[in-house]
Structure 1
Amino acid sequence: PEVVPAAAALHAAARDALAFAGAVKRTSKVEKCLGLLADAVAATADGRPPTEDEVAGWRFSSKPLAGPEIDAYEAARATLERRVVEERFAHHYEYLGELVELFGEEYSRRKDQRSALDFEDLQLCARRLLRDRPDVRVRYQRQFRHLMVDEFQDTNALQLAVIRLLHLEGGVRQNRLFTVGDELQSIYGFRHADVDVFRAQREDSARAEDADAGVRPLTGNFRSSPEVLALVNRIGRSLFGAAYADLAVGALGAEGVAGEGPGAELLVTEREGWDERDAALEISTDERAQPWRLAEARFLAERLRELRELGVPRGDMVVLLRSFSFVEAYEDALDRAGLAPHVIGGRGYWSKQQVADVRNLLGCVANPLDEKALFGALASPACGVAPDTLWLLRQAGGGAPLWSAVRWLFGPPPGPADGSRPPDTEDDPSDWSAQVEEIGGHIPTDDRERLREFVSALLELRAEAPQLSLEGLIERTITATGYDLALLMRRRGRRRMANVRKLMRLAREFEADEGRDLRAFLDHVESETEGDAREAEAAVDAEGHDGVRLMTVHSAKGLEFPVVAVADLGRSLGAGFPPLLRVEPAAPGDDARSDDGRSASGSEALRVGLRLARLGRRQAQIFDYPELEQRAVAREREEERRILHVAMTRAERRLILSGVVALVKLDREPRPTEPLIGPVLRALGWEAGRESVEVEPPPLRPGLEGAAAPVRVAVRTRAPGDEPASAPRYAEP
């Protein structure tokens, strides 16, 4: 870390800022700022590196003093603060590097034990084989006269290296390479797709002198109606600028708009005010969803219900979401509207209540002294006692395990090794049993009967468990406790039971790989749950199900639907915690690195950023973290806009965009992480109160005769007080 140069830079910046501030009208706040600037100048004058606390103390709000000199001062101050922290804590990166290295070694060892390869191994091994074995490389180069790479926008540098090893030998072309891709379809950054690889290859092809080389743009769209394309093009030009090429109408279809009215529309839901008591929002099955998100989901469901009543089949409609974080809110709203929603793919399976219930029941079978599992099982439909009863049981046991009290009160006469004998305490065991029976006497009669049945079933299950497969144990558990019937009697019981059946299948697969080990399976389920592993809910509807489909944009890529509703555009970008470590390959010329992107040692040069958490202090972003974070946010913003473009271009005859926005904040300066609904509304030039916006028609592809008229985009709004007094429920037709 270069502390001394950073201190000198701050000294110069503070002097400039002090000179600038001297001409500003004096107020108490300005005087305070001047004092801090003077302190910074004095402390850095003798070349002594200041402490972190000193540098942090020179921070002040720029509101009293605004100008480029003040901005330069704050940038220099932040840099010096980062350098001081780096000098003190840089060795932590070495610890982290050692940890990552140890992890890599252990991961490799476990793969070797299983003779396993992961996806990255397949790519790395393919590159190594072609690079290090000229005979193999030449044989494949001669075997293929043509190489075609589809979805080229979703490749990365490693995959490009494999392609070039098959295509070039000593820089000389050995066969013909044909790539197909669309920059605006690059939406797999989380799988390490790098759109810059596509851009660079496109530029190389455009500059190539070979007569056979070149770039052939394709802009004709044979899927979407002119109304849909008009909205897509207006938003595309605004989001992507001059690089965006308007999509042209490929064919003038005769089917017309799905339903009545404009084929392109926006549903705008006010963000503020839904927490008020008079907002008519019924309880949703998605308890995590914010009130404004529930309002948007129900507004969208109402609109799709209207289309259904106008004759649009439910199976022609799809709701596309960026993620399934709050899919239950939309599923519930569509279900209330009688649209028979069908969730396709996604994740969230491990967090379902049914999975948690069965995990708790199995945890009790494995060890009834597991308090968390026992509490969860007693509260689940397998037993279903009241919260007050759970509290009484906890009090009855005193300091003893919960199972001791439950087994003593509701099981057969206790034995010495069944976990129900009085705990080892200094008190007389008879005193403990008397306390248990006294407090247990307050438990309601209905709950006492439920507890007797549960304890009896659990003791039987514990006796049978060693003789059953994991799949068989789950089935025996849900039938013995009556959990299966209780689940089927609930709303969406078939969906809930299908998730349990899926857990049985997963248990069978686990046993085939790892053996019959109940504790290991429970640990596996807990690990998948805590890690939010990607696992979709069980499918309960047939392929031809006549209902509105709910899909993520990624799962819909390559598909098309008559009516597409792109929802949750009020979702903030950049949600969640940023990573502790950011690493990127260094670009040629970065810092003192060589032009080929290598470090002085000859290895690949990297840029590293570390988010340092310290006890009692603010987190510190050190090394290159601030710049890498800024780049990451910019890349994410670009990809989110491409994801929106992919979603919109799935529509054939009607496109609906739906999102939540605080209307009073719409005119404020855009933020890098603002929800997409803001840029969409600004692209259309929409103002509150307007019911429609006119946009220019899309161009026609060359050779297509006709003319397209300007398109009217309908805009519907929903605010607290506009919604129906109560959401109507519809029976499924």
Structure 2
Amino acid sequence: VGDAKQSIYRFRQVDQALIASTKAKLRAQGGQEASLQYNWRSAAPILKLVNAFAAQAFPQEALSIQAPDFCEKENPQAKAQLISLQDSQGDLVNNLETARNYQCTWLAQKIKNLKNQGQDLSQVAILYRSSGLVKKLKKSLAAQAISFEVQGGLNLLEEALFIDLKNLLRFLHKPQEDLFLIALLKAPFFLLSDASLYQLMRAKKAEDQDLSLWQYLQKQAQAKKLQDLTPEGAKMTWIYQSLKKYLDKKNYQSPTRLLRDFCQAMQLDYFYQSLQGHTEASLNLEQSLVWLEKLESEDPRRSLKDLIELLDQANNDYQKARISPLSQSLSRPQTVKLLTFHAAKGLEFEVVFVVDLNRKDPNDNPALIHLEGDRALKLSKDLKLEASPRYEAILKIKKAEAQEENLRLLYVALSRAKRELYLVLNPPILNTRSKEKKALPPGGLEKILLEKLGKAAESFIKEEKISLATQSSPNKSFIFNKVEKTSLQKIKKASNTVSELETYELCPLK
């Protein structure tokens, strides 16, 4: 039952081929499919655009039909537009980052106009594939005095980053519990190796099995032997000193203040952002801290133990009902919602902006790519090695799966709007590799969207001229993050063997 075009669960390892074969099997056994074709949400212009896209993207699927009584109450304000941004002087913009500045400037001004016309901002949403544009968006919206909130997906409680912070709280509450300390030692910000951890546990067992791991480390620190405990002696000393400092602080600082201090001292926002290659991790970190601080403001007397119990309860509620308290507790009236395509599924808004469509697809092929339990090592182009037929076959399948998922994601984004839908296209970007002054062709989801709409796109395009004071280069943080990401990739290529990659992939502690 439902709309098959909205199945966007590849990130959960859902196999669309298995779904299709299961449906065929059930039909052969006399089963019936209930396709929900009537659209009770979108105004006629929006449904026209959605169906123009779906007809080419999903030729085997039925198109949506507007509900009969919905047609009678047609709204004169209803519209669906492809916003083609153009520099007011007719110039090509210098780079993709500048193009995003144009998008954010236009968006903020458009939403300000809607606000002045009496639009309820809680019914306005900005949707994006990934969170790379969010920092720029927040800055532009704030400059126009527009309230906003970033809404994460419902699985924020399951993020590795959130679990790492929870393990820190558990350790600070009960340092004698070895499991919490080991989880911290294996966390990415400490990353003690398996070899060092194994050697450490053997040494503790040989000396005094009754001591907890933390007590053993304290004893070794007093004897000034921490440096000699493992091959990573200097790192072990630094980890011990860091954790001891926060154990001392817990006596006079609130739990959330401890977490905020720890995150700032360890620069976890930059760390997780560089580690994962995108800004969503740092946004999730900030959202987690804001939520915890909000909980603390409601009850300043809440202890470390109380907070841990509250987090456990929230996680239990999420596991049972798949509902997270994060977005609900952070939600405020008259605020524009910023959220990913995945997080928007099942939601609807009067006005929807879909942005940053020209962004390249996320890396769908990690170091190890999988197919039905088998794996193949991804080859680096730098090595100039010839890919095996097996690798090429797997890569072809993965790319086809990614393309199918992109079509479904776009369909979900397009079908969230009730009254107004704006798909914001980048202004033409200068092709620096061309000797002539030419614009780069559309890329990413923008390319897919325009290809599927074909000639139908012309009836939806609306040009908007916009001016920026200067075509600025990418900001410092963007440059820093790009350098960090590149250096991490180089380190991985230089130091990781195939066996280490396989070990990491299979390791339950990763």
- TM-score of the aligned structures, taking structure 2 as reference length: 0.55
| Per-residue Cα deviation, 1:455-504 (whole angstroms, up to 9, x for no partner) | xxx9xx899537457728728979xx9xxxxxxxxxxxx98983783798
Would you tell me which structure has more helix in proportion to its own residues? 2
* Cross-structure match for 1:578: 365
* Cross-structure match for 2:376: 609
Alpha-carbon spacing, 1:200–1:270, altered in 2? closer, same or farther (3 Å): farther
In 1, the alpha carbon distance for the partners of 2:260 and 2:374 equals 55
| Per-residue Cα deviation, 1:134-180 (whole angstroms, up to 9, x for no partner) | xxxxxxxxxxxxxxxxxxxxxxxxxxxxxxxxxxxxxxxxxxxxxx2
Q: 1:270 touches 1:663 (CA, 8 Å); kept in 2?
A: no
- Aligned counterparts, 1:674-689, within 5 A: 674-685=443-454
Report the CA distance between 1:207 and its aligned residue: 3.0
* Cross-structure match for 2:133: 326
* Cross-structure match for 1:219: 37
Q: Which moved more, 1:631-640 or 1:289-298?
A: 289-298
| Per-residue Cα deviation, 1:322-350 (whole angstroms, up to 9, x for no partner) | 12233122222222233211111157999
Instruction: State the one-letter code of the partner of 1:716.
Output: E
Q: 2:149 touches 2:331 (CA, 8 Å); kept in 1?
A: no
Q: 2:350 touches 2:417 (CA, 8 Å); kept in 1?
A: yes
Alpha-carbon spacing, 1:558–1:462, altered in 2? closer, same or farther (3 Å): closer
Q: SS in structure 2 opposite 1:218?
A: coil
Alpha-carbon spacing, 1:198–1:509, altered in 2? closer, same or farther (3 Å): farther
Instruction: State the one-letter code of the partner of 2:41.
Output: R
* Cross-structure match for 1:474: 258
In 2, the alpha carbon distance for the partners of 1:476 and 1:642 equals 38
Q: SS in structure 1 opposite 2:424?
A: strand
Instruction: State the one-letter code of the partner of 2:108.
Output: A
* Cross-structure match for 1:386: none
Q: SS in structure 2 opposite 1:325?
A: helix
In 2, the alpha carbon distance for the partners of 1:726 and 1:617 equals 40
Structure 1 stretches of 5 or more lacking a match? 1-179, 277-288, 363-457, 482-493, 514-535, 586-605, 695-712, 728-733
Larger radius of gyration: 1
In 1, the alpha carbon distance for the partners of 2:47 and 2:342 equals 20
Report the CA distance between 1:255 and its aligned residue: 5.3
Is 1:245–2:245 an aligned residue pair?
no
* Cross-structure match for 1:567: 355
| Per-residue Cα deviation, 1:66-102 (whole angstroms, up to 9, x for no partner) | xxxxxxxxxxxxxxxxxxxxxxxxxxxxxxxxxxxxx
Is 1:235–2:235 an aligned residue pair?
no
In 2, the alpha carbon distance for the partners of 1:664 and 1:682 equals 21
Is 1:643–2:409 an aligned residue pair?
yes
Is 1:716–2:463 an aligned residue pair?
yes
Q: SS in structure 2 opposite 1:572?
A: coil
Instruction: State the one-letter code of the partner of 1:215.
Output: E
Alpha-carbon spacing, 1:669–1:725, altered in 2? closer, same or farther (3 Å): closer
Runs of 4+ in 1 over 6 A off after TM superposition: 347-352, 475-478, 494-497, 502-507, 536-541, 667-671
- Aligned counterparts, 1:454-469, within 5 A: 465=249, 467-468=251-252
Alpha-carbon spacing, 1:216–1:578, altered in 2? closer, same or farther (3 Å): closer
Q: SS in structure 2 opposite 1:244?
A: coil
Which of the residues 84, 87, 93 maps onto 1:268? 84
In 2, the alpha carbon distance for the partners of 1:629 and 1:655 equals 35
Q: 2:133 touches 2:356 (CA, 8 Å); kept in 1?
A: no
Instruction: State the one-letter code of the partner of 1:656.
Output: Y
| Per-residue Cα deviation, 1:514-559 (whole angstroms, up to 9, x for no partner) | xxxxxxxxxxxxxxxxxxxxxx997697645112111111112111
| Per-residue Cα deviation, 1:592-622 (whole angstroms, up to 9, x for no partner) | xxxxxxxxxxxxxx554222569x9435533
Q: SS in structure 2 opposite 1:680?
A: helix
In 2, the alpha carbon distance for the partners of 1:635 and 1:476 equals 40
Alpha-carbon spacing, 1:608–1:512, altered in 2? closer, same or farther (3 Å): closer
Report the CA distance between 1:222 and its aligned residue: 1.2
Alpha-carbon spacing, 1:501–1:572, altered in 2? closer, same or farther (3 Å): same
In 1, the alpha carbon distance for the partners of 2:107 and 2:256 equals 43
Report the CA distance between 1:310 and its aligned residue: 2.8
| Per-residue Cα deviation, 1:618-649 (whole angstroms, up to 9, x for no partner) | 35533611111111111111101101101111
Which of the residues 317, 321, 343 maps onto 1:555? 343
Q: 2:365 touches 2:398 (CA, 8 Å); kept in 1?
A: no
Report the CA distance between 1:231 and its aligned residue: 0.6
In 2, the alpha carbon distance for the partners of 1:627 and 1:509 equals 52
In 1, the alpha carbon distance for the partners of 2:455 and 2:144 equals 29
Structure 2 stretches of 5 or more lacking a match? 173-241, 266-285, 310-323, 432-437, 472-510
In 2, the alpha carbon distance for the partners of 1:223 and 1:560 equals 8
Alpha-carbon spacing, 1:306–1:685, altered in 2? closer, same or farther (3 Å): farther
Q: 1:556 touches 1:650 (CA, 8 Å); kept in 2?
A: yes
Q: 1:581 touches 1:611 (CA, 8 Å); kept in 2?
A: yes
- Aligned counterparts, 1:39-118, within 5 A: none
Alpha-carbon spacing, 1:342–1:329, altered in 2? closer, same or farther (3 Å): same
In 2, the alpha carbon distance for the partners of 1:716 and 1:503 equals 46
Report the CA distance between 1:234 and its aligned residue: 0.6
| Identical counterparts, % of pairs | 23
In 1, the alpha carbon distance for the partners of 2:376 and 2:334 equals 50
Is 1:184–2:1 an aligned residue pair?
no
Which of the residues 97, 111, 114 maps onto 1:304? 111
Report the CA distance between 1:204 and its aligned residue: 2.2
Alpha-carbon spacing, 1:463–1:237, altered in 2? closer, same or farther (3 Å): closer
Q: 1:318 touches 1:551 (CA, 8 Å); kept in 2?
A: yes
Is 1:501–2:293 an aligned residue pair?
yes
Q: 2:291 touches 2:329 (CA, 8 Å); kept in 1?
A: no
In 2, the alpha carbon distance for the partners of 1:187 and 1:268 equals 27
Q: SS in structure 2 opposite 1:243?
A: coil
Q: SS in structure 2 opposite 1:268?
A: strand
- TM-score of the aligned structures, taking structure 1 as reference length: 0.40
Instruction: State the one-letter code of the partner of 1:677.
Output: E
Q: 1:222 touches 1:250 (CA, 8 Å); kept in 2?
A: yes
In 1, the alpha carbon distance for the partners of 2:328 and 2:101 equals 24
* Cross-structure match for 1:341: 148
Q: 1:270 touches 1:717 (CA, 8 Å); kept in 2?
A: yes
Instruction: State the one-letter code of the partner of 2:369.
Output: R
**Higher relative contact order, chain-length normalized (CA < 8 Å, sep 6+):** 2
